[in-house]
Amino acid sequence: MSVTAAEGFVAAGCHAGIKRKRFDMALLATEDRQPVPCAAVFTRNKFAAPPVELDRALLAANGGLAAGVIVNSGNANAGTGAKGRADAEAMGECAAGALGVPAGAVLVCSTGIIGTPLPMDPIVHATPRLAKKLSRHGADDAARGILTTDHVTKQVVIQGSTFTLGGMAKGCGMIAPNMGTMLAFLTTDADVPREAMQRILAEASDRTFNTLNVDGATSTNDTAMLFASGKRGRCNLEEFANAVQVACEELTFKMARDAEGMTRIALLKVTGARSDREARIAAKAIAENNLVKCSWYGGDPYWGRLLAAAGSCDVEMDVARSFVCYGGVRVAEGGTGIDHDAQTLTEHMMGDTIQIEVNLGTGGGAAQVIGIDLGPGYIKENSKTS
């Protein structure tokens, strides 16, 4: 029941006709149709899609309240100008009408190809049908309705001592730090002040969604939302914050493992940087380097590529004090290779998760990125999306 596991929420999904066969629309709403506190974080891409701009404006205008969100997949409604904004508004108004709530009470998300006008006819026709299908058992269909090139749905449920937190997400390509072409929707029956929710979601996103780097491409539509029905009353905020982070982390790893063409995940940690900021810069440079990603695909502990990528991104690096580890096996120190346990290293590199530490030797700053390898599957998928 994921996104409807918390009391007070219903969901539905369907095939509207935006895509040829797969589900391509979803609706998440409060069971009583009353607006509830909603926290949200969005893409930092300046070329943000009209649905993102609309949701920012709606939440700012109504004090952060919403009765639901309607989502379409297969078309991002991005790069569509004033017509795209009007279509996003029409999509929200259509959903509001079907739910019997005021216009502006329903948020809008879109995901898919960029630069193509949103096909409004199938959306308008499908929305009333979606509203009629809403139920506590509609979570799986909703999770299917938000997918694009994903192979599987991504859902999570966390049971707190006095609350339930559920969620669903999509995303498997065009993912870089600051989220990625991903949508995530979380719901809870805890009564949490909206300001606290916003802080908790933003912090959890920074520690989870914003550490995932599939291909260095920051999407135009990235959105994560958290709705709180308050049905089970106040909760311990620290416990709630931990639950949100765990939920976001689980969804992040589900997206990483479903990344386009992925065969291996790299848990890359940069340490010994002059600051956390410089560590993040170096980690991003390494995780996005195609030579590095190809070595991950081949299971090759090519430490020189890691240091070369770190050394080219304009952060401080003391080569003489640097070192590199794969799976806890130190393979290089001071910029040169060293003797190591080759059998242990080989076994680690053949697994589906590679753990890497690159120490820059200049300070106490650190950062972690979740990266993936680069193989033929990614190229095949992204050579035909337009």
Q: 272 and 361 in contact (C-beta within 8 Å)?
A: yes
Q: Is 181 a catalytic residue?
A: yes
pLDDT tens digits in sequence order for the chain, 386 residues long: 899 999 999 999 999 999 999 999 999 999 999 999 999 999 888 888 999 999 999 999 999 999 999 999 999 999 999 999 999 999 999 999 999 999 999 999 999 888 999 999 999 999 999 999 999 999 999 999 999 888 899 999 999 999 999 999 998 654 444 434 589 999 999 999 999 999 999 999 988 888 876 544 456 788 999 999 999 999 999 999 999 999 999 999 898 888 766 788 999 999 999 999 999 999 999 998 999 999 999 999 999 999 999 999 999 999 999 999 999 999 999 999 999 999 999 999 999 999 999 999 999 999 999 888 887 766 666 665 54
Where do runs of H (alpha helix) occur along 1-119?
A: 50-62, 81-99
Pairing status of strand 323-326 against strand 329-333:
antiparallel
Q: 198 and 6 in contact (C-beta within 8 Å)?
A: no
Catalytic residue among 30, 148, 181, 187: 181
Give all domains of the chain, ordered by start, each with its CATH number.
Answer: 2-257 (3.60.70.12), 265-382 (3.10.20.340)
The sheet carrying 25-30 orders its strands as 9-14, 25-30, 68-75, 106-113
Predicted local distance difference test score (pLDDT) of residue 175: 41
Give the C-alpha separation, 216 to 174, whole Å: 7
pLDDT tens for 94-118 read 999 999 999 999 999 999 888 999 9
Write the DSSP assignment of 157-192 as a string of letters.
Answer: EEE-SS-EEEEEEE-SSSB-SS-BS-EEEEEE-SB-
Predicted local distance difference test score (pLDDT) of residue 215: 47
